[in-house]
Amino acid sequence: MEVYNLFPERALSYVVELQNGKRVRYVNLDNAATTIPFSSALERIASEVSSYGSVHRGAGQKSKVTTDNYEAARKTIADFVGASSENYVIFTKNTTESVNLAATLWKEFNGKVLVSDIEHSSNLLPWLQQEGRENLLQYKTTADGRIDLAEIEKILQANDDIKLLAITGSSNITGYKPDIHAIAELCHRYKAKIFVDACQLLQHKQLDILSDIDPRHIDFVAFSGHKMYAPFGIGVLVGPKEFFDASEPYQIGGGNLPYIRRDLEVLRYSTVQTFDPGTPNAFGVIALAESIQKLQELGVERIAKYEHSLVERAFDGLQSIDGVRLYVQRDALGVVIPFEIDGFHAKLTAEILAQEYGIGTRAGSFCTYELVRKLKGTTVKEDRIIAEEVKQGITKNIPAVVRASFGLSNTLEDVERLVGAVAEITQNGASFYEIRYKEDDTNESYTLR
């Protein structure tokens, strides 16, 4: 697939200076965190500037143009995830805010929330904050972080007050994609709803919420634009109108209420606008819709095939290097490869890749602490020691891996540079880098001496 005409040339050819003074093209292998926006999305924003006006407020022509484009974008986004006319598409800043919004509203309904142990903290902490430990249940996945439907059913059978199950659509560390429709059918059998954090899923795989008459339908979906080739600052929460209409809005102020009586009774809209307070991020919404249209034009399945070919090549290359440990199986590959080099702290490996090879990866626990503990075999005793160290400001022993995450903007050359760099680092050995990099005494950061 030709990717160079999809993204700004200046982004794809971005040059960085290495520690030896050499200048090279930057390789972005941190796509699971943030992707490069499509050129078409940036061009759409630029084209909207001349007609930009207030949304849902003004009587002027510019206000009408922007409002129409904003609502048309909402329709495009709804269609992309298979939302029906019985769903609201609510805009937020990012997935984290979407989950917080949902958790705040769900707090008002009786029952418990069930989450997996492979969740990103953004799909764990909001539920924990709102429900408390007494109303939050966590189920264990398999040793390699996969969902066991039988385990979920046991919990649902033993707890008849579970109102919601929250699950990732795709792991941000291993790329594992649970069968969310099978999980949804199981939840509905026991009168529970399902909430899917799809921020790592939608740019790689088509999602269909399905009609609510289908027992396999998804009740709630959250995702972000900046992970699917749109700019920062826009998130989405999709869910049933019936639920939101029965809930008080997460935020209130200007724009999301039609009238306040003299006695301070607040009247509300019977539309999605109740959950659209203040001046919205119209550019972000419109750009996200443009990115979605580009994804559909290219074909999500075609994109996934292209990405998978790169990931397989990278996996095979890394697996062939002695001293490299991979934390994902080839038959379960998504678009991310978690790995580490024997004798190297993950953060040191990532720093070397950046400073000496111009390759951007990420290292750490990726806000999924239990999954990293599981993958690395961290014991309960070790976990207690680490926790005590963290309380003292020492974070360098928190379990960590390196993550190389691929996207549509990557090429075979990027794969070859990663594999070649890791092979050279491994061959040099840790002692070679000890005189070049300084480790902080309390945390896991490494800097050039």
pLDDT in tens, 125-158: 999 999 999 999 999 999 889 999 999 999 999 9
Mean pLDDT of 86-101: 97
pLDDT given at position 15:
98
Residue 197: phi and psi, rounded to 5, are -85, 100
Q: What is the mean pLDDT of the chain?
A: 95
Among the listed residues 403, 402, 275, 287, the one whose alpha carbon sits nearest the alpha carbon of residue 335? 403
Give strand ranges (E) for 59-118.
87-92, 112-116
pLDDT in tens, 347-393: 999 999 999 999 999 999 999 999 999 999 999 999 999 999 999 99
Residue 143 has which token pair?
Answer: 């040793």
Mean pLDDT of 324-335: 94
- Please, what is the Cα angle at 345 between 227 and 317, to 5 degrees? 65
- d(C-alpha 294, C-alpha 38), whole Å: 8
Residue 328 has which token pair?
Answer: 């994902």
| Long-range contacts at 253-260 (CB < 8 A, ≥ 24 apart) | 253/277, 253/278, 254/278, 254/279, 255/55, 255/56, 255/57, 255/279, 255/280
Among the listed residues 426, 406, 447, 424, the one whose alpha carbon sits nearest the alpha carbon of residue 27? 406
pLDDT in tens, 46-92: 999 999 999 988 889 999 999 999 999 999 999 999 999 999 999 99
pLDDT at 245 over 90: yes
User: Among 77-86, 205-214, 314-323, where is mean pLDDT lowest?
Assistant: 205-214
Q: Measured between alpha carbons, how far apart are the two ends of the chain, in Å?
A: 41
Residue 175 has which token pair?
Answer: 């790329």
**Residue 115 in 3-state DSSP?**
strand
Mean pLDDT comparison of 58-62, 400-404, 437-441, highest-scoring range:
400-404
Partners of 404 in the β-ladder: 337
Residue 184: which pLDDT band, with cuts at 50, 70 and 90?
Answer: very high
Residue 43: which pLDDT band, with cuts at 50, 70 and 90?
Answer: very high
Residue 36: which pLDDT band, with cuts at 50, 70 and 90?
Answer: very high
Give the Å distances, CA to CA, from 85 to 88, 184, 236, 280, 392.
Answer: 8, 20, 16, 22, 52
DSSP for residue 437: E
pLDDT given at position 440:
87
For residue 391, count other CB atoms closer than 10 A to its CB: 8
User: Among 184-193, 234-243, 266-275, where is mean pLDDT lowest?
Assistant: 266-275
Domains and CATH numbers, the chain: 9-30+300-448 (3.90.1150.10), 42-297 (3.40.640.10)
Among the listed residues 185, 182, 210, 180, the one whose alpha carbon sits nearest the alpha carbon of residue 195? 180
Residue 19: which pLDDT band, with cuts at 50, 70 and 90?
Answer: very high
pLDDT in tens, 275-300: 999 999 999 999 999 999 999 999 99
pLDDT at 2 over 80: no
Q: Backbone dihedral region of 245: left (phi > 0), alpha (psi from -120 to 50 degrees) or beta?
A: alpha
pLDDT given at position 439:
87
pLDDT given at position 255:
83
Residue 212: which pLDDT band, with cuts at 50, 70 and 90?
Answer: confident
pLDDT at 3 over 80: no
Residue 159: which pLDDT band, with cuts at 50, 70 and 90?
Answer: very high
DSSP for residue 176: -
